[in-house]
Structure 1
């Protein structure tokens, strides 16, 4: 769904809620996925800035390729709190052991930016 609406993204300078976009484009997908949503109605809404990595909308974890002793654990947007325990452990392992041990987060290394290897998020609705 995300890719279908990317070209319809609003002007970032305009923080007015687009109720019609939600009602016409987002709501039908929610109601289809979870039929109980059909009986729910939006009571209020707000618009704000959402910080994310514009390359592939995923976090960056691990060592900087040029700066010794600099490690990334950033760019998780709204998922930071959910992913913090795993990312913290992975970065600790990288610092202490020189590599990921428990959780392989190599797909989130900084090197993907200059290699042009985007991480595809398959669970965006």
Structure 2
């Protein structure tokens, strides 16, 4: 009678190697699955990189636009500040001229009062002279 081990039956050396072959197959399937997952991840990473590059490009353009707007607004600010300084100087000059005119008006009123007094005196003097001539 031939033993089971020699026939390749249950308990034979072929049975003992079978789990090793199954382990190899499982490892191969796992490796294939990992390769597919890696390939999928690389594809997703590639798309993400493209999206990030486009976003970076858009941000660079936005930055360039904002820098230009800042430059323009800064120039406008400088011009307005210069205009305000000029207006301030003109306002100060106008204020000084106003004070000078007010002083001149006061002097003119004072002179008018003095001349009015002189006219009264002249009228009185003229009346006396006219009365004495008669």
TM norm. shorter chain > 0.5: no
Higher percent of residues as helix: 2
More strand by share: 1
Structure scoring higher RCO (CA < 8 A, sep ≥ 6) equals 1
